[in-house]
Each structure stands twice: as C-alpha cells, then as structure tokens.
Amino acid sequence: MGTKQASPPRSRTRPAAEPLTEQTQSSSGWLFGLGCAVIVLAGTGLFGWSDAAVVGAWRTLLVSIVVQGVPFLLLGTVVSAAIGAFVPPSLFARILPKNPALAVPVAGVAGVVLPGCECASVPVAGSLMRRGVTPAAALAFLLSAPAVNPVVLVSTAIAFPGKPEMVAARLAASLITAITMGWLWIRFGKEEWLRLPKRPESHGTGGSRWEEFRRGMQHDFLHAGGFLVVGAMAAATFNVLVPPGVLAMFTDSPWLSVPLLALLAVLLSVCSEADAFVAASLTGFSPTARLAFMVVGPMVDMKLIALQSGAFGRAFPARFASTTFVVAILVSVLIGAVLL
Amino acid sequence: MRKLTYPALLALLGAALLRITVGSEIYLRYVKESLHPLVMLSGAVLLGLGLTGLARELRALLRQPVHHYRRDEHGAYQVEAHAAEHDDEDEHGHSHGAGPRIAWLLGAPALALLLFAPPALGAYTANRDGAAATVELADYRELATGPVTPMSMSEFIGRSLHDSGSLTDRQVLLTGFVTKGGAGTDWHLNRLTVSCCAADARPLRVAIHGKEAPTLNSWVEVTGRWRFAQLDNRSPVPHLDVLEVRTVPAPRNPYADRAPVVALP
C-alpha cells in the first residue's frame, strides 16, 4: 500500500507479482470447488446413485466441517489479529532463541498452548512470520500446535483406553516431525516459497488500534474461511466417495497399510480432536498404521492444504505438505517400532 | 459498495451460526453437543464484527464526497487524504482491508444453514458398503434383572463381541434408524456416532430378524433377543430376533448413542 501511495499513476497497472498471485489463488480455489462439485455430480450420474442421498450427505458433511471449523478458525484469527495489532515485533525476538536451529524446537514445544483443531494454527503461524519470527520456527509451531495440545492428547487417551503408549507415541512422533520439518526448512527452505499476503496493516491516517484489529480480523477470517470451505468441499467429497470397505483390503499388508492410512488421514480431514476416535475404530490395522493416521492428520489434510495455500501462496503446500507427509510417515514408523 | 459485502458476509455467517444454536438444536445435526457454546459464541462474535464493519463502512460512505468513488484513470484520488478507504481494488484480486474474493464461498454454507439447514446424516452414510465400526471391550456391569433391558447400540454390539453370555435369555430394547438389510437379514437397525463433527461419523449396526421392515430411515425402538452368530471382529453386525417394533420420533441428538429411556408405568 505504501508503494501505491508513493506512485499513484502506476497504481492502475498492477505491475507487482503479488496481486496476480492472490488472484490466481482465489480462482484456483474456485476451480477446485467447482471440480469437487462436478465430481459429485458426475459420480451421481455414473455410479448410479439414483436418489440424491449422496448429494444430501455431501451437503451435510460440508456444513458440518464448516460449523466445526469456524470457532477454531475464529480463535486463530483473533490470536493472529491480536498479535498483529498489539504485540510488538521485538517481543518474539526476545522470547525465542536467536539461533533458528534452537528456535525451532522451542516453537514446536510451544504448540502445546494453542488448544483446539488445526484450523487455528495456520493464521497464527502467518502472523508470527509477519511479526519477525523465523519461518522455520513458525512452521514447527504450525505443525505441532494441532497435534500436541492437551485437548488432543486427552481425546487420544480416551480413544485408546488402557494404551498410554499410544498417547506417548503420538506426542513424540508429532513433535519430532514438526521439529524435523523446521530444521529441514532452515537447511533447504527458500524465502520465496513463502508468499505472505499483505494485510491491511497500519493505514497511517486515522486507524486506531481497534480499527486495525477489526480490519485485520475481518480480512484474516474471510480469507481463511473461504479456504476452509474449499477444504471442506474436498474432504466431504472424499468422505462420500471413498467406501469404507476399500480399507479392509489393505489391512493385511503392513507395508501398504501405513501409507494407506496416512493418505486416508489427508483425504478425510478429520479434525485433530476426533481423529483418535476414528483411528481407534480402524481395528484391522497395525498400531503403527493408526499412529501414522494420527500424526499425519493434524499436519497434512485437505483443509490444511487449502488453508496453507491461502495463507502462504499456492506453491507452498505443494512442497511443504508433501515433504511433511513423507517425514511424518517415516517418523511414525520409527516411533511405532520403538514404542508400540 | 464492494467493501460493504465483506462485513455483510461475516454478519450472514454469524446469523447462520446463531440460528442453529439459539433456541434451536439444529447444530446437533453437525457437531458434538459440547461445541454448543463455542459455535454460539463465534456466531455472536461474527455477527458483531460484521455489523460493526457495516456501520463503519456505511458511515465512511455517507461522509465522503460522491466523486471520491468515481474511478479515475490515473488513480489521482487514491493519493488524497482518505488513504485508509481506498480498497476498491478487488477487480485485480487484491484487496486491502475489505477481504478476498474467495470469502464468497463462505456464503454457501451460511445460506444453506439459514434457508434449509441440511438434515442429519442417515441411511446413506450408515448403509454404504456394509462396513460397521467395531466396539472395544469395555467394563460391562452386571445387568439389572427385569423383563426388558434398555441398552445403547454400542453396549449391545460390545457385549455381543466380548461378553455374549450376558445377553443370552435376555430381552433388550434398542433404538436406531432403519436401513435395508443385507443377505439373509430382513433389515438393519443403525446408529451413527460422532466424536467431533459429522465428518467422523461411524456406523453401528444390528441385523434385525422377525418383523417387517418399517419405513426406511425412520427411527424405531425394537425389543428382541440376541441371536448367536459368528461375528467379524473388524466389522461386527450382531443379530437380533425382534418381538416388537415401535416407531419413535428422532432423538434430540441423532449422533448420541444412548440407551432408550423407558417410561415407567
């Protein structure tokens, strides 16, 4: 915005790359949503789901995921807008270790404080980056927060009664994956892979802090909310398309079952508070495969891919989410071998 | 005008969330009961945020001279004092302060909730492909003596799997909704249980013998006796010989698998 004020005559010509990317992103979101709708409609026609029951189920699932996600997304955007409006950038510089390699594990463990599901962590990680937190640390936080917070650990303990090793394995594998991803980002990550959309920060004239807070929140929530709907459409589509019986075919092969359940976690996008119950119900599978389901789910799923491409640019999840997927599987297998 | 639509979207979504939580239990079709205060609170916050935004934008709109909103080829007005207000850049997909275009997608679930509120998941989800969720071994109490024992579906399935001795020679009362049966059974009694939102719904199923199938997808209470059958541990569907079937209204929370409450005579 500052540049526009400085050079008004050129502001009509949109030379910058940034507006273009954001437009491509939102139109790709539209296309994706349209694609999902087409898949469902085509499925209705092709596979002979004669009545509209499948469409009805899809609609209910979509609405459910949005209703469930909105409170946590709102929490995330309140925290992120509060960080943007009220927390001075110097604060994080003081709290976090200067060395990024040390900041990563600290941020990963700090994920414990943000309760709730993964919808909240994306906007918060974005605002941390805007406040000068090194991206690697913010990304470690992004991955660990939905997986290691107390709410999720308690629900895991409830879902696996009498198996505290499952809770320990989930905590360990999630933290190790998050920290590994942070370190990988330090080693291989490039600044240009992250495209933080500009926020309506400091308008200079006449913007009180509260007005800044309100605008920040409105922008963040609407932006992330749109992507939440895209993710919900994708998840609802897979939910109605993937027949549960398909899974049973793979239960006997331990080598296939781990990546299969990890993939299922991505496609179904069950919220991290509930995924332990779903994992517990997948009784045919090895404990390691169920662990992989619970480690991958809060870190990579359709909802998160959509939210991340909204927050960090479309190119980001292609690299980051796919690497996280692989690392999470490897760590799960390792931890599963040690603890389960 | 465009900048009015974004706060309006917030208000719309807020109103939709309030509609399903205040004086109504529609939210139970979508999420678990304990999320009620959170959903209601977010509805109120979003509505408040949206209305505040609308008021502010309207006031700004009324205060400003009309020509300020006319598009200028060279963007000359953009550099004037009202810098904070010039966010009509959405045609370029780039927006300041107002909101991004993808936000329009939020309008779909909001309108769906306000206009028709999709029904709870039912027969389609319960019945597809025949897989049923299994029930882990729980600590089963000694059953009370009485002519008929009301039981939740998960307890009935759990006992059939792990403690079938406790079910022999006993009449149980179950409640659930009706779907078509598989091979060799007349029909199925089903429940969907949810841990967080409807997207993680898992089906519980009992195969029913001995009575005509009631209307599909309707809720019924059945009284019957457990019938011995080999069960698949991964996808258990125990069998029940039914003596009596009674149509009942859908329960308050369709995803809470509770034992039916028996009215005392």
Q: Is A7 on the interface with B (CB under 8 A)?
A: no
Q: Is A48 on the interface with B (CB under 8 A)?
A: no
Higher pLDDT among residues A163 and A13, named by residue? A163
Q: Is the pLDDT confidence value at A216 over 60?
A: yes
The reported pLDDT for the residue numbered A4 is 38
B 101-130 → A contacts, CB under 8 A: 101-106, 108-109, 112-113, 118-121, 123-125, 128-130
What value does the mean pLDDT take over residues A109-131? Answer: 82
The reported pLDDT for the residue numbered B1 is 61
Higher pLDDT among residues A81 and B122, named by residue? B122
Alpha-carbon gap, residue B249 to B219, rounded angstroms: 6
3-state SS assignment for residue B197: strand
Which of the following CATH numbers is that of domain B124-247: 1.10.3470, 1.10.10, 1.10.1200, 2.40.50? 2.40.50
Higher pLDDT among residues A127 and A253, named by residue? A127
The reported pLDDT for the residue numbered B36 is 95
Name the pTM for this structure.
Answer: 0.78
Higher pLDDT among residues B121 and A93, named by residue? B121
The reported pLDDT for the residue numbered A22 is 42
Of A62, A223, A275, the CB nearest to B100: A223
pLDDT tens readout for residues A255-291: 788 998 899 889 888 878 778 888 877 767 889 999 9
- A167: tokens are 């809770």
pLDDT tens readout for residues A320-332: 999 999 999 999 9
Q: What is the CA radius of gyration of chain B?
A: 27
Residues of chain B with CATH 2.40.50: 124-247
3-state SS assignment for residue B36: helix
Test mutation, A67, A205, A275, chain B, max B CBs within 10 A: A67
Residue A337 confidence class, pLDDT cut points 50, 70, 90: very high
Q: Is B177 on the interface with A (CB under 8 A)?
A: no
The closest alpha carbon to B194, from A295, A271, A163, belongs to A271
Task: Calculate what percentage of chain A has a pLDDT beyond 70.
Answer: 78
Q: Is A63 on the interface with B (CB under 8 A)?
A: yes
Alpha-carbon gap, residue B166 to B18, rounded angstroms: 46
Alpha-carbon gap, residue A116 to B256, rounded angstroms: 22
Residues from chain A that touch B35, judged by Cβ atoms under 8 A, are 68, 71
The reported pLDDT for the residue numbered A245 is 65
Test mutation, B200, B234, B255, B257, chain A, max A CBs within 10 A: B200
User: If you measure CA to CA, which chain A residue comes closest to B81?
Assistant: A205
Higher pLDDT among residues B175 and A226, named by residue? B175
The reported pLDDT for the residue numbered A204 is 45
Distance from CA of B75 to the nearest CA of A (A): 6
Residue A192 confidence class, pLDDT cut points 50, 70, 90: confident
Q: What is the DSSP letter of B105?
A: G
The reported pLDDT for the residue numbered A329 is 96
- A163: tokens are 């198996």
B 19-38 → A contacts, CB under 8 A: 20, 27, 29-31, 35, 38
The closest alpha carbon to B237, from B197, B199, B206, B192, belongs to B206
The reported pLDDT for the residue numbered A213 is 83
Bridge partners, residue B247, by sequence: B220
The reported pLDDT for the residue numbered A152 is 86
Alpha-carbon gap, residue A12 to A144, rounded angstroms: 42
Distance from CA of A104 to the nearest CA of B (A): 31
Residue A24 confidence class, pLDDT cut points 50, 70, 90: very low
The reported pLDDT for the residue numbered B104 is 85
Alpha-carbon gap, residue A285 to A290, rounded angstroms: 7
The reported pLDDT for the residue numbered B46 is 96
Q: Which regions in chain B score pLDDT beneath 50?
A: 67-71, 75-98
The reported pLDDT for the residue numbered A291 is 94
